[in-house]
Structure 1
Amino acid sequence: MAQVLEFKLPDLGEGLTEAEIVRWLVAVGDVVAIDQPVVEVETAKAMVEVPCPYGGVVTARYGEEGTELPVGAPLLTVAVGGTGAPEELTEAAPEAAPKVTAADAVSSEYSGNVLVGYGTAGPVARRRRVQRENPAVAQAPVAAPAVARTPVAVKAPEPVAGHDGPVPVISPLVRKLARDRGIDLREVRGSGPEGLILRADVELALAALEQSAAAAAAAPAVAAPVAAPAPAVAGERIPLRGLRGAVADKLSRSRTEIPDATCWVDADATELMAARRAMNEAGGPKISLLALLARICAHALARFPELNSTVDTAAREIVRLPAVHLGFAAQTPRGLVVPVVKDAGTRTAESLTEEFARLTESARQGTLTPADLTGGTFTLNNYGVFGVDGSTPIVNHPEAAMLGVGRIIPKPWVHQGELAVRQVVQLSLTFDHRVCDGGTAGGFLRYVADCVEQPAVLLRTL
């Protein structure tokens, strides 16, 4: 006899509490295998394909593409076991509902494994009525291959009325948004499963309040005898959510919490470029300029560990970090991301080049994992690729500093007492003034510039 199991949006790790459905990979009536990806979601950190731990027939999906769901909300239900006959997918009497035990979890219809990065637990059996007017579900055999299928629309749950008891909100971000904007959650109608209030519901309530306030303000002008001015043209509204919203929140927090300062210096990068050219002409894997700059940063941080730290604001303590996990800014079609090269201080130039290439390609494809985007202790920002010389970047909270690198271009430069054309780059360091003073920051930047101008300086610390 078939059992209908519910698969909920799993914990995606790194403190993420919600995700947006980007693309369904299965339709109602499809046959899915154990651990087959069923939906692509976008979190505040990455695009993730979520696999389902059950094998069987998809009987229901929850949420359309573009909908945000909190962790723990139902994603879909799957009929597992049995013959797949229509009568087995209908609702049984409560006393006849089968129980799924821990032993049942490790079966042919459930992977039994905790999915790495998703934190799924054992299945929970739930009987759900399959809509009889939906023939694609009622007639879908479990063992049939999923070919030439037609997607079936799934009706979204009806919103519930205002609440007198506990407010059905899971996400702390939704609560914070409502609190910051003065929205009473008891008056918000939730559109999620079982009346769950989502961020979109709070934003809708906020828009309604703003519209009411605008209408009230415009009312006297309508009654006045003078001609009303032409209505203002409404601009395009782009929601700050997903990756863009996460970046906005992080940058705002950095500007709010971190008293940053920036210092910069021009450096002659001619010798560094010549050293890289010699390395690549010697054979073997090509070495990237970013890898050489990363090596320089790692050595500079070993000399000035104050900048490889973070500030515990609550405890009013500076926390020195033992390893250098180097983030680097990467522009993607989805927006700015900062992948992290773990243990950059112990890697060779070849290893750094390889890891930069891997993370950059994953960023372009949108396949970075939350682990690839977290844990950074210092960021290297090569904005020279955009054809600009300088910038005052915002520190990547909760780190303490960021090194910016402009474009390397030929410029007139005094070299060995004579005017010459040299390859010049501007380096800028934005740092948290709480972790160090200008002397330390200047010392760090000067050491980096010295290594760029004379790469042999690095030989003293190799």
Structure 2
Amino acid sequence: MAQVLEFRLPDLGEGLTEAEIVRWLVRVGDVVDVDQPVVEVETAKAMVEVPCPYGGVVTARFGEEGTELPVGAPLLTVAVGAPSGEDRGGSSDGDGGGSGNVLVGYGTGAPPARRRRVRPADGTAVAGTLAAPSPAAPRTPSPGAAPARPDGPVPVISPLVRRLARQHGLDLRTVPGSGPEGLILRADVEGALRAAATPAPAPAPAEAPVVEHGAAAAPGTRVPLRGVRGAVAEKLSRSRREIPDATCWVDADATELLNARAAMNAADGPKMSLLAVLARICTAALTRFPELNSTVDTEAREVVLLDEVHLGFAAQTGRGLVVPVVRDAHTRSAESLTAEFARLTEAARAGTLTPAQLTGGTFTLNNYGVFGVDGSTPIVNHPEAAMLGVGRIVPKPWVHRGELAVRQVVQLSLTFDHRVCDGGTAGGFLRYVADCVEQPAVLLRSL
């Protein structure tokens, strides 16, 4: 029989521990080529197509669309290679070895060394069928399962999970792992911490009826917080818990900025977006006020001033809000920033952003004016230290050169981590940005 290899959900990088199956791209019985995408999944960072490193015939799929699987869980099995005496698992030389490529920058691990064939009641082997857990089976361990190995290293999904347990004084050997082969996931650690923090409820009198209260009993449509939406919710909650933020804002006359942009776009060459011009102002301001391009190392009790500006910008998509990141924004011109904003925005709307394009930001620019609102108090994008919000630009009465006139006015708001700087620094940054908006020639000093 052909050799049957099991392809498991690969490590998608950036500490991602699970992914939701959005759409299967192959069916059982289909012939697949090496590195052919077989499933579309949504992680906490982006939607990605996962290619299979084996070529052959799909013999099984694990998980229906909408199922959330941990990294390392079986995705599908593929029968590969020339017929041999009987099916056997594990990697082999030749076609069975796979390409090693799953996503750009991430490799596949070797397939498991052992496989079991399912035998029907008559004892004959079913070719190409593997014994695998049902995708609908609960991921929580059985009550009698051992929480962890008594000796040797404790298997955890990522160093972040180990660090989380260490910060809260949690012994990982007491935590049951719900991942493959007892692997401890972040959800396991967070569940153990919640259980430790929740006091046992007092027993109710025997004669008292049990009455349901709260959201659990409320009728209505329930929307799972998972994938990109769940990641955003978790990040915002963490930001509110950990960052002592403050917000300052200022109104600025953007008339001259709009005139300058119109003049630039009237000349030959690519048109420049207003967001790109504002981004160029931000990078110039961060050069003057580097405290706002930083992060806080809570364990070391240090503020880390970052050398590069990786500028995130909020982009609304059909699947929720995402924040693509422009790498090395401080080295780019307004023209280069315009092209990069357009490229990343198109990828965001198409759902093709990679995890690397959604992480690593050091400062965020949020143009909420596109929603027709004047102002907002942004939430800092953890673990960054600040976010600049830009409202809509509207004509308003304004005193210009000593006379009342109608000018194009915008509200700018800066939310910042008060641990990295005081109000003087934050106010200085915001005032410099406003000065560049009102008088674009100010920016020439930093070019």
Instruction: State the TM bucket, normalised to the shorter chain.
Output: 0.7 to 0.9
Partner of 1:415: 400
Cα deviations by residue, 1:80-134 (Å, 9 ceiling, x for unpaired) = 0115xxx97x65xxxxx47644xx1x5476224574233313444554536889x
Structure 2 match to 1:45: 45
Q: Is 1:54 aligned to 2:42, yes or no?
A: no
Retained in 2: the 8 A contact 1:69–1:198?
Answer: no
1:459 deviation in Å? 1.0
1:238 is aligned to: 223
Amino acid at match of 2:224: P
* TM-score (ref. length: structure 1): 0.80
Q: What residue is the counterpart of 1:118 in the other structure?
A: 106
Match for residue 405 of structure 1 among 364, 386, 390: 390
Q: In 2, are the aligned partners of 1:4 and 1:128 still within 8 Å (CA)?
A: no
Could you tell me which of 249, 264, 267 is aligned with 1:279?
264
TM-score with structure 2 setting the length: 0.82
* 3-state SS in 1 of match to 2:392: coil
1:23 counterpart = 2:23: yes
| Runs of 5+ unmatched residues, structure 2 | 150-154, 192-199
* Higher CA-based Rg: 1
Give me the whole-angstrom Cα distance separating, in 2, the residues matched to 1:276 and 1:218. Answer: 73
- Matched residue count: 421
Q: Secondary structure at the match of 2:281?
A: helix
After TM superposition, the structure 1 = structure 2 runs for residues 70-85 of structure 1, keeping only pairs within 5 Å, are 70-83=70-83
CA distance in 2, matches of 1:321, 1:44: 25
Shift of residue 417, structure 1, vs aligned partner: 0.7
What does 1:83-232 correspond to in 2, within 5 Å? 83=83, 91=87, 97=88, 100-101=91-92, 104=93, 107=95, 110-113=98-101, 115-124=103-112, 126-129=114-117, 156=135, 161-166=142-147, 171=157
Q: Measured at CA, do residues 50 and 412 of structure 1 come closer, stay the same or move farther in structure 2, by a change above 3 Å?
A: same
In structure 2, relative to structure 1, the CA distance for the partners of 1:162 and 1:279 (3 Å cut) is same
**Contact 1:24–1:38 (CA under 8 A) maintained in structure 2:** yes
2:287 aligns with one of 298, 302, 326: 302
Deviations 1:375-420 (CA, angstroms, capped at 9, x unpaired)? 1110000000011100111100111100000000000101111111
Post-superposition shift, 1:257?
1.1
1:301-353: CA deviation from partner (whole Å, max 9, x where unpaired): 00111111111011000000001110001111111111100010111111100
Q: Distance in 2 between matches of 1:351 and 1:223?
A: 64
Q: Match for residue 312 of structure 1?
A: 297
Q: 1:377 to 1:52 in 2, by over 3 A?
A: same
Deviation for aligned residue 1:164: 3.8
Task: Specify whether residues 417 and 314 from structure 1 end up closer, same or farther in structure 2 by C-alpha distance, changes over 3 A only.
Answer: same
Code of the residue aligned with 1:28 in structure 2: it is: V
Matched, 1:373 2:380: no
Q: Displacement of 1:239 after TM fit? A: 2.1
Task: Answer whether contact 2:253 2:410 (CA < 8 A) is retained.
Answer: yes
Shift of 1:69: 1.3
- Kept in 2: contact 1:162–1:187 (CA 8 A): no
> Aligned partners of 1:365 and 1:59: how far apart in 2?
31
Q: Is the 8 A contact 1:44 1:245 kept in 2?
A: yes
Q: Does 1:445 align with 2:425?
A: no
Distance 1:377 1:445, change over 3 A: same
Contact 1:25/1:39 (<8 A) preserved? yes
Identity between Structure 1 and Structure 2 (%): 76
Out of 239, 259, 266, the residue aligned to residue 254 of structure 1 is: 239
**Rounded Cα–Cα distance in structure 2 between residues aligned with 1:203 and 1:310:** 24
Give the residue type in structure 1 aligned to 2:245.
Answer: D
Aligned to 2:194: none
